[in-house]
């Protein structure tokens, strides 16, 4: 059987198994996020599996090159999740190859507590001290005016996420990082396609990370990437991802550098096989070519996905503006054009209803909601025994923990869903009056 015949059958299978289902208001679910795909993803996935190369191969090569170009970076390294991307990026900053710039145990990393834990966990895992500052209620991003006061002579890096796609104030944060010689890692897991001053997020810092989990802007099932234009950080990040090895042969290749039995490393004997020389305490966080194959098909759709997310955000904003007495709507950071992950808002504290009342009402009507991830990280059980420092008060972070939810803007939400979402909000607000 020829490969083309198999792939043709896969297209037919897609048409039969994944035909679009009609939306039934009140019965069909309106997710906050989800996979959006067609036959192309199934075809590339099966195509990659038929290669049976399994580890990173032609599709990973294509994805890394094209995604780096889309993100306006010189290099992209695929990893198996956005959290792994954060782990690799932060770990890279601890490399001895950075000499006196490397982060060492006890150094501080400035961040926020209103977000996803794995933006912060890598610092904890490396014995670094997270320093939390407060966020703004309207952008959900770091309160820039709080950063300078939070710095100490131990602060070596800033690691922040662009919350739900809304960019943090990159000009201000970058200026502070440059002024104090700090590394800047941009967690872009929720912000692929967002721009600031016309430039892609991720291009301002030393490294950027993305996620390709199904809820994200594009998916490969499990997946993520580390992006950088710094060749040394690229080399270190690749080593961290690939067991910490010193060698840079691609999977299935030997002796790319031609020095396999020639060098002397550490206290190893001269000529010790370079394939088994480790320059970092690394991990194995690689992807398979099947995952990358799905990513290649998704990448073609990404520009459209970004536009649809922006359009859905605008529709929700316009539709919910009438409820501003009760809802604090999100504001894009000045100079930014966010590719929103979701539509976040705060329920203003009032005597008629709570966030939970609204969330339950929406969920009862099959509209899925989420809170802003961990809310306030330091209130999480996992952080009970973690060493961290809080600079100032986390008043807004606590407010977000109590009052924020978000709903979906993902490309699977079409006009019919949007009309339904807004009608349910209308029903809710009618009920409280």
Partner 1 sequence: MGTISKATVLSVKEHGSEIREYTLQLEKNHYFEAGSFLQLTLENKEDYTRWPESRNFSIASAFKADGTIKLIIRKVGVYTSRIFNELIVESTCTVKYAFGDFLLPFFDKKAPICCIAGGTGIAPILSFCEQLVRDNYTDRLHVFYSFKNEEEMQGVEMLKSIVPEAQLHLYCTRQEMAELPNRRIEWKDIHTADIDVTDSHFYICGGETFTSYFAKNLSAVGAENIYTDEW
Q: Where are the beta strands (DSSP E) in 303-341?
A: 327-328, 336-337
Cβ 274 to partner 1 shortest distance, Å: 12
The burial class, CB within 10 Å (0-12 / 13-18 / 19+), for 425 is buried
CA distance 95 to 91: 7
Q: 251 or 334, CB closer to partner 1?
A: 251
Q: 265 or 428, CB closer to partner 1?
A: 265
Q: 232 or 432, CB closer to partner 1?
A: 232
- Element of type H or E holding 363: helix 355-364
Q: 98 or 328, CB closer to partner 1?
A: 98
Distances (CA, A) of 63 to 70, 73, 289, 300, 369: 10, 13, 10, 10, 32
Q: 280 or 417, CB closer to partner 1?
A: 280
How far is Cα of residue 72 from the mean position of the Cα atoms in its chain?
17
For 375-410, the DSSP string reads SSGGGSGGGTT---EE-S--HHHHHHHHHEEEEE--
Q: Considering only CA atoms, which of 211, 206, 21 is closest in space to residue 119?
A: 211
The burial class, CB within 10 Å (0-12 / 13-18 / 19+), for 122 is buried
Q: Considering only CA atoms, which of 109, 145, 169 is closest in space to residue 388?
A: 109
For 224-242, the DSSP string reads EEEEES-HHHHHHHHHHHB
Q: 67 or 340, CB closer to partner 1?
A: 67
CA distance 62 to 426: 46
CA distance 16 to 5: 17
Cβ 68 to partner 1 shortest distance, Å: 8
Cβ 32 to partner 1 shortest distance, Å: 34
Q: Considering only CA atoms, which of 222, 162, 156, 212 is closest in space to residue 187?
A: 162
Q: Which residues bind partner 1 (CB under 8 A)?
A: 51, 53, 56-58, 60-61, 64-65, 68, 74-75, 101, 230-233, 235, 248, 250-253, 256-259, 289
Residues annotated as catalytic (active site), given as ranges: 216
Cβ 107 to partner 1 shortest distance, Å: 17
Q: 75 or 376, CB closer to partner 1?
A: 75
Cβ 248 to partner 1 shortest distance, Å: 6
Q: Answer whether 10's CB lies under 8 Å from 37's CB.
A: no
Cβ 427 to partner 1 shortest distance, Å: 52
Cβ 275 to partner 1 shortest distance, Å: 14
Q: Walk across the sheet containing 195-196 and list its strands.
A: 199-200, 195-196, 336-337
């Amino acid at each position: 059987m020829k490969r083309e015949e198999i792939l043709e059958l896969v297209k037919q299978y897609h048409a039969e198994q994944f035909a679009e289902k009609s939306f039934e208001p009140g019965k069909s679910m309106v997710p906050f996020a989800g996979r959006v795909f067609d036959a192309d993803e199934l075809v590339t996935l099966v195509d990659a599996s038929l290669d049976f190369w399994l580890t990173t191969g032609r599709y990973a090569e294509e994805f890394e090159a094209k995604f780096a170009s889309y993100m306006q970076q010189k290099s992209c390294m695929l990893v198996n999740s956005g959290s792994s991307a954060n782990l690799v990026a932060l770990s890279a900053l601890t490399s001895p190859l950075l000499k006196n710039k490397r982060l060492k145990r006890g150094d501080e990393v400035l961040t926020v507590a209103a977000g996803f834990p794995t933006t912060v966990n890598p610092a904890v895992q490396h014995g670094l001290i997270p320093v939390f500052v407060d966020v703004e209620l309207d952008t959900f991003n770091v309160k820039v005016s709080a950063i300078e006061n939070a710095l100490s002579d131990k602060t070596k890096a800033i690691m922040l996420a662009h919350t739900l796609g809304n960019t943090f104030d990159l000009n201000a944060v970058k200026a502070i990082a440059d002024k104090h010689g700090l590394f800047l890692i941009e967690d872009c897991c929720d912000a692929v396609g967002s721009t600031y001053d016309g430039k892609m997020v991720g291009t301002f810092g030393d490294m950027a990370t993305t996620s390709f989990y199904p809820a994200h802007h594009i998916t490969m099932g499990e997946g993520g990437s580390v992006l950088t234009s710094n060749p040394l950080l690229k080399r270190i990040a690749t080593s961290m991802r690939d067991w910490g090895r010193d060698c840079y042969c691609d999977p299935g290749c030997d002796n790319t550098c031609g020095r396999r039995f020639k060098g002397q490393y550490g206290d190893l004997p001269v000529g010790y096989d370079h394939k088994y020389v480790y320059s970092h305490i690394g991990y194995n966080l690689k992807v398979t070519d099947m995952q990358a194959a799905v990513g290649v098909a998704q990448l073609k759709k990404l520009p459209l996905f970004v536009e649809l997310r922006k359009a859905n955000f605008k529709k929700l904003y316009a539709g919910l503006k009438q409820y501003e007495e009760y809802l604090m709507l999100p504001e894009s950071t000045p100079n930014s054009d966010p590719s929103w992950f979701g539509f976040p808002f705060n329920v203003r504290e009032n005597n008629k209803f709570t966030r939970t009342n609204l969330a339950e009402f929406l969920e009862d009507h099959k509209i899925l909601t989420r809170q802003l991830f961990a809310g306030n990280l330091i209130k999480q059980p996992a952080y009970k025994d973690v060493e961290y420092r809080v600079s100032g008060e986390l008043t807004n972070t606590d407010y977000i923990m109590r009052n924020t939810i978000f709903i979906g803007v993902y490309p699977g939400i079409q006009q019919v869903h949007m009309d339904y979402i807004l009608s349910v909000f209308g029903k809710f607000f009618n009920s409280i009056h």
